[in-house]
Chains A and B, each alone.
Chain A
């Protein structure tokens, strides 16, 4: 029986380096090397197999965040691929058990940091389901939610193209993607006060109405984006270098997707038009005219095309939402649930509006008590559990909320699509080359904030 020689590519093999050098194990001799030290290792003795295990990440510009890939290589071929995750675990779900229901929004928005408004919507829809007020959400609030989510979908897909392009060496795509995403973040800043981590969608509605001029700005931006998205897609669609890196790469068919629970663009690249916005509409998606984009190539290129064309569909929905916007309240009428304070932008930034402060501090003691009770204690939610799934840019984003009847969630669990979809790395990449793993991970587009939570 021959013993294996295992080489771990990590640290330097200088004699003074405590992490370098070699040591014997029951598996055979293990050498730790990095960068230019490969020559220091003599070839494996004859008759003994050599295994090379390369540790890629978690700090690596092409692994899409703090994702650690553990690859076993045979030359350039990846024979085994495993993911190491958890580097961005922040205990958000546990934290939420010690905050009020409304404060939870501030936490969930930080999970998948490229789709904050989707996290917030999933959570708020689940809380509203528990409260039994799903039907009482004002139409204007739902329309604003849809509009903001679709803008968010475009910005998220733009980052997917930008970072995906960068990881494959297409740096112009990165410049274009991030430039165009900034246009959407400007809208977010105007409407919510923040570019990211917006905490804008709240149980019962949204934090505040659209500011003056926002509708016009969104219309103008949509027009500009239409033009600019063409630039990005012209750069990559039919680009022979891009196609050489993506066509036929990262193959995963429908059977594989179903078994692994894969959703989103990866699932739609197998030709299945599964989109929760169509099959189980929420926030009034049944009233919008849009297409579910599919491809049948099952590969990285197909997923890329889906993202490009989904952005066009999202812009269509944004325009329809703008047309549907009618004046009205943006928060549920139930005063025992609706956040009492009104926000305004003052000379020192965003905060409670002067009129509201005036009312509670000098006009109505009852208003002050009401404000105080709702802000410090919050509302009670009848015991029970609810599960709400929405279609995020990455697939099925679902929120499982359990209430024990208190003013705080008993348990919140997010089924994040990045987490589930990342399981496909082995199926997509094994047997391919190292460079294809990068393309496969980029096509899954995981966001580690959502994976680790």
Chain B
């Protein structure tokens, strides 16, 4: 009975596909059991913070304007380089289209008004429900000069998991990109030596993807077995 809920259109009004993360259905993840409580019919959409419109407030506007001007100098309109800007919980995120990532981070590093000297590395996130944008690479940049921190998010589809490497601009991303490749299978094009870093070289699969099968030893007790953690009955 609860199986079908996941495929129901649960997009609330005003929310685009980009932000809909998932739908919580049922009371706590019970699937296929004879739930008579009625909670099994609950459908609760999970929506990530949506795009923000300028003015973003504080120094966010200065940074956004500076980026826009610098990109325009290179003949690259801000709107075509970025998908959207999200301001949430006091942090600003630029969703950058992957084909323009290299130009974008070069501007971040070199423009005197931006001066993001330090890249804190890459973190991957896998959103299997975000069709066509399943793999997200999340970069954080710190400007010591201006004491600012911003986030840049780049997406790639599972079918074509390629994102340009920024090692040429920020050499610190060498190991970080290797780690993200190792755990998420994002191929960073142009990386000098994209090899696994934490898992053994011959390891199959990328363990931190949401579709990576979890192990777990079936514990048998009086004929019943305990499945891996991702298949257990749990709160959601």
A-side residues, CB < 8 A to B, are 85-86, 89, 91, 93-94, 98, 129-130, 132, 258-263, 272, 274, 279-280, 376-378, 383-387, 389, 396, 398, 400, 402, 404-408, 410-411, 413, 415, 419-420, 422-423, 452-453
Contacts and interface: CB of A to CB of B under 8 A. Distances in A.
Contacts of B93: 385
Contacts of A376: 235
A108 to B, nearest CB: 15
Contact of B117 (A258, A405, A415): A258
Interface of B: 21-22, 24, 28, 46-49, 88-91, 93, 117-121, 123-126, 138, 140, 142, 144, 147, 149, 151, 170-176, 179, 196-200, 207-208, 229-230, 234-236
Contacts of B171: 259-261, 423
B50 to A, nearest CB: 11
Contacts of A85: 197-198
A93 B229 contact: no
User: What 10 pairs between A and B have smallest CB-CB spacing?
Assistant: A261-B172, A413-B123, A86-B198, A89-B198, A98-B229, A405-B46, A377-B235, A400-B123, A259-B171, A411-B125
Nearest to B19: A383
Contacts of A94: 207-208
Nearest to A272: B144
Contacts of A400: 123, 138, 140
14 contacts: A86-B199, A132-B89, A259-B170, A259-B171, A260-B171, A261-B120, A261-B172, A384-B89, A400-B123, A404-B21, A405-B21, A407-B235, A415-B120, A419-B175
B120 to A, nearest CB: 5
B123 A274 contact: no
A383 B172 contact: no
Contacts of B142: 389, 396
A274 B120 CA distance: 14
Interface of A, secondary structure class, is: mixed
Contacts of B230: 98
Nearest to A91: B207
Nearest to B123: A413
Nearest to A257: B118
B149 A389 contact: yes
A387 B140 contact: yes
Contact of A384 (B49, B140, B197): B49
A423 B208 CA distance: 23
A248 to B, nearest CB: 24
Nearest to A132: B89
Contact of A280 (B147, B176, B235): B147
A383 B121 contact: no
Given A385-B138, A406-B235, A452 B198 contact: yes
Contact of B24 (A93, A406, A415): A406
Contacts of B172: 259-262, 420, 423
A396 B198 contact: no
Contacts of A383: 21, 46-49
A398 B144 contact: no
Nearest to A424: B172
Contacts of B89: 129-130, 132, 384, 386
Contact of A415 (B88, B140, B144, B234): B140
B175 A420 contact: yes
A263 B121 CA distance: 13
Contacts of A419: 175, 179
Nearest to B129: A404
A364 B149 CA distance: 47
A93 B144 CA distance: 28
Given A260-B172, A404-B22, A86 B197 contact: yes
A453 B173 CA distance: 17
A132 B90 CA distance: 10
B208 A93 contact: yes
B234 to A, nearest CB: 8
B120 A396 contact: yes
Contacts of B235: 376-378, 406-408
Given A385-B91, A400-B140, 10 more contacts: A129-B90, A130-B89, A383-B21, A384-B89, A387-B140, A400-B138, A405-B46, A411-B125, A423-B175, A452-B198
A177 B219 CA distance: 45
B208 A404 contact: no
Contacts of A405: 21-22, 24, 46-47
B125 A398 contact: no
A94 B229 CA distance: 11
